[in-house]
Structure 1
Amino acid sequence: SLPDEILVISPDMIVLDVNQPYLQNNGLEYDKVVGRYCYEVDNKLRGECQITEDYCLLREVLRTRRPQNAVYHHIDETGKDVYASTKMTPLSDHEGNLIGVIEATRDITYRIHLEDELAESLVQLETFFLSAPFPISIKNMNGQYIQINDKGCEALGLSFKEIITHTDLEILPRETADIFRKNDSEVLRKGKKQFVSEEKIARAGKDYYYHAIRFPIINKKGEITGVCCISEDITHVKSMQRELERKQKELQATKEYLQNVLENSRDIIITTDLSGNIATFNRGAEDILGYNRSEVTGRPADLLYADPKEYPRLLKRLYTEGGVTNHETRFVRKDGAHVDVAITISHLYDNEGYVIGTVDICRDVTTRKVLQLQLIHQDRLAAIGKLGAGLAHEINNPLAVINEAAGWAGELLDSDDRIKASPNFQEISESLSKIRQHTMRCKSITMRLLGFASQNESVAEACNVNNVINDVLDFMYSRVRFSNIRFHTKLSPEAPDLAVNPVQLQQVLVNLIDNAIDVLPAGGHITIGTEAADGCLRITVADTGSGIPQKLLGTIFDPFVTSKPVGKGTGLGLSICYGIVNQLGGDIKVARTGPEGTQFLITLPITARSG
């Protein structure tokens, strides 16, 4: 009656007897099985007999006279996996003589598949537990944490090792621990899940709030063995609630603040009604245009325009395009003088969303004019550079003559024994050597001047970046020698040559170093480094200045952005650097900045291209 397939086998491997399940499962008749060798009969459940293999379960039982177990796996004729568990037990007579073996085989395919599914479910459950985007923790009956996920650790502000096996009292502030213990105890006492709308956790000087669901952990026997807690961070919701509670109180203060901003803005800020008449006129408008607000309130806004017909055209654009942005026009002051402004016009709405007029914000574009003058100044500097190049060429010619004459005179000295015998020979020889040394120094200076002045003539060439950096530092030394600013280098000897325009690279380095010098106090340090990594060459320029203002970081590489006073900088240096590095196929960014200084990082591909 057993569901297992049973065979009784003699020590000679002859089948002595079989049960009905075996015959039915294999479609065999009793007399076709009994009397044959065990390895000759079919066994669909266990699969083909392994008698030809080195290991045979039957032989092992006969050898050891001990029971043996094995699990067999094969693929049946339908292509499905079949798993069978076989147990062979030695059979002895009353005198202890081995008279046979009982083989019992059971189909465990379902169990194996169930175990696989269970293992997969456990993996999925563990993955969910560990990767869940909300805190999950499990405690035992003693209140000790026995499991917690990453979000749970984050919520408590502690590491896994600091939490696991500890109780709330051991790791959390007393107030928080008491709340957790009270809620855990209620779940364990009632044996039911519990929802807590708000739990507070103090972490790093700040309060965090959570929704929490707790439920008991129950074992196979139905016994409660612990408590699981799943939480949701509602700190942002609490913040929003507090924000909403403050809205009414802040509304009046906000109105007063905005009014104060409008009044104290240096821009012209005007509002008009639906008829185009001036409704408000701020202090900035009074200062720039010379009118008192009482003189213009209620009057048509076109009185401010040099061309009164322009205002209706702008209103038409407002209603057809939805707004007017940075339109340049000209206003007329009360004294008749003209003021160039950039005007932005938008609709003014009431609390219910209806249009009740316009808001006109006008900015004096004097600053832009100054920038245009600075660009002209840059053109003049370029012209001076060309003049310097011409002077360098002119100086090089007499330098070459002086150098050659000194060399020729030296050769004469060396070839004339009478002169060598002169007591003044040594002094003359040293003087000629100094002449040649200083002419070469002058030539080096003029060559550098030529290099910096001839950017448009430069082409890509195999360029040793370390050499370019050293040349730039030599060139910039005159700027820092009296301010006690020190140059330092951390140049990698393994930095590869790049196919770049060396003068463009010089310009980038000069701009960065020049900016660093401008912000450094006496005794500051500038460090330039190179490093080859990941198919790129990295160049760093770091200073020990006070850092870049946070508000400028997002636009630091935009044209005309500068922290220097008017007249001290055009705001084009970093923009030019960005353009050159981009042309070379690289990238430039602010790697770090703060009170201890700023570091720029230039990344160029090893296969950099010429700009």
Structure 2
Amino acid sequence: MRADELDFFSLVELRPNEGAIEFCGRRAILLHTDAMGALRKELVETLGAEAAKVVLTRYGFSCGHEDAGLLAAYMHPDTIEQFVRGGPRTHMFAGIAEVETRSVEIDCERRRYRMGGFWRRSYEAEQHLRLFGRSHEAVCWTLAGYASGFASFVFQTDMICIEHECEGSGAERCSWTLMNADDCTPELAELRKYFQPLNIKDQIDGLETKVFERTRELEASEQRYRNLIEDLPEIVFALHLSGRLVQLNKAGRTRLGIDEAELPSLRLKDLVLPEYRAQASSFLKHSAQQRSVARLDVVMSDSAGNPFPVQLQVEPVIKGDKIVGYSGLALDVTAQHERERKLTEYAARLENREQQIQDIINDAVYILDLDGRLSFVNTRMADLLGVPADRAIGRRCGEFMLHSSALRLERDFRRRLAGGPGLPFEIAIEAPCGTNCLLEVSTAVLLTNGKAEGVIGVARDITARREMERQLAQANRLSSLGQFASGIAHEINNPLGLVSGFAEELQSLMEAIPNAAQIPDLEIIRDGLTTIQEQAQRCKAITDNLLLFSRRQSPPIEPVDVALYVQERFASYREVGLTRGLEITFDIEDRLPPVRTNPTLLDQVIQNLVKNARDAMNGAGPLRVELRSADDAVELGVLDEGAGLPAGVIDHVFDPFFTTKPPGRGTGLGLSICYGIMSELHGRITCGNRQEGGAWFRISLPYDEAGIEGAD
């Protein structure tokens, strides 16, 4: 009979009412593939993968060998090839897998046999994937054993089936080759061990020996662990799931004054002070919920009743998926708290010292982070920004300063971070008092471990320096103009005297002409000569002012009660009509110190300021006079409510011949002379516009130090 003529129903007889199944005349049973999978799992987990492979391969070999013996009586094969092809047919009849025979090579003379093919839908690969997942090697152990056993019976020589590819390792199908056992290459020779009998008793005895040895090792290790825990200087404890103490090492019992017999009656919360017991109870619940190490700072009491701080560290003990208890440490953190306290105090002192150093520096210091926001400002910088230091942190410079200045800082910030050079630059910032401060800024990249963290800048207030430079330039300019004016005055006075003298002589001659009053033309000449005389006198006054402006004098200086002096002078101005039309109010600070000045020259300056204020208000209006202390000097302010000083005028009001009055109403020398006088008096004069309208002029007069000391 040919292999393809084999019929399932001719080989199998089912007698369900008798509870019997026969295959080729011998009783058989039906098995679920899941049951075979359970057997595989049990063998692998009990004996290991290698031993399980031997058992299942031997099992398959026995099945194949027995089926071949039974099939021979039913099949009566025509040839040995047909007989060996019957193996795959019976394999499929048993539901093991779908078998495709690819080739059969039979050399009876040399007794060499080879056969190859494929298995599809292998029950064994299916079960292995279900139970263990994908394998890195072939897993159809019973199938390979069956093919080996069947072929060994047919060919009457040892045959081995080798599985090259397997569905259990991710292949689309199982590929196998059946060959003589003697033909296996050295690397396949180890496969023969899977066909050798397995002595289960020896395996079990070996496992029992290993378990016994391992148990002894574990007991010794546990004892060493207990000894180690017992001798540790830290407090170590173990808790039951309920929170009761199971173990407390020697250090803990000695430190806390607890007898070992007391442990079963104590809980963790009984070891801490009463105010911490609620925290200790909830602490264990939190550790159980998180299933991880939890920490809690509490206070315990030692055997003498002295409290000491500890940090509890508790970890759940988990077996399987259940918490069976807790293990923990109670670390004395007294020394740690003391170190932390000292470090905190030291850091606070350093920070306070650094802040004091930063604050005492007159320069403004700031740091911009990588986002261009302020991360530090010292007190000086905060004063310039007009906000407390803490309110400036995290904000941009543009929120506090002029837009042009903020853009200048931003350009330098970007250039610095890009690695560009840094050159000092100047910005203007509006101070809280309303005046503009000129700052010279120098910057550098702030580095930490070679990495840029921002830009640090130092801004120096150069407003006073610029003012001094301006005053020096003004003084130099006035000095040059004074020399020039002196020469001009002398050159003009000589011809001016001749013009005035001849005009006066002509007037005398005309008076001697008979009936001159009846001659109209002579009257016209007389009026012209009078005008020449008036204009000559005006020119003389101008040249006198020029000479006064150019004169470098060292006037006598004396102590003056400036408050009393100002009140007396304004009383005299009122008598002579200088303040006619003005509504004068005084704002004089009490107990002003005496100043050192020259009363005559000071009077000249005050008169000039009052005249200018009256002219600015067109001869009438309110005039405010202020006297107050300021920086080792007394400031005298004259404030009008006129039109104020036009833009661009303030920088030139003290220049000679500069005037805003119409032609013929001013020479432009009055304020220049005042400037020169204040320089001679070691004071200064400044001006500006009032926010409410009008202009202000202030003169600063230095204190009389001797008078102040005498008063003290």
Same fold (TM over 0.5): no
Write 1 or 2 for the structure with the bigger share of helix: 2
Q: Normalised by the size of structure 2, how large is the TM-score?
A: 0.28
